[in-house]
Amino acid sequence: MTALVRINPAALAPPPDNRHAHVVIAPAGGRTAYLAGQVALDRDGNVVGGRDHARQAEQCFVNIRDALAAIGAGPDRLVQMTIIVVDHHDALLPAINAAGERAFGADWPVTATTLIGAQALGHSAFLVEVNAIAALAD
């Protein structure tokens, strides 16, 4: 399987903690999978985490990990993630990053990532939503 290429141009500020890449290049000839926004629902449809951003984020990342596994891919195939956080503020960043570390472990995906603060998501119980794009082998 051809590796993704991750680039952080010298002309741009380095990503915090090297958790993200400014540019991710997928190999030619592969397929792309688009993962729908995942919220903090477990497999039975129960909201996980109550009003806790970190617990909800962890479930979102677990859902992304499990969706990838269902198509025979791992987090290393992720090229892009968008993380949407209700009532976002800077103090939430460490908790959201730690939630990703718990879900992905050593397989934390370095992706072209965007974090967006939002007033609300599709249901008032949801505090975090994560969608992603993965580059699959041909």
Per-residue pLDDT tens, the chain, 138 aa: give them.
678 888 899 999 988 777 789 999 888 888 999 999 999 999 999 999 999 999 999 999 999 999 999 999 999 999 999 999 999 999 999 999 999 999 999 888 999 999 999 999 999 999 999 999 999 976
DSSP 93: H
Domains, in order of start, for the chain:
34-136 (3.30.1330.40)
Residue with tokens 């002309």: 11
How far apart are the C-alpha atoms of 58 and 138, rounded to whole Å? 30
The structure tokens 């590796």 sit at 3
The number of beta carbons lying within 10 Å of the beta carbon of residue 134 is 27
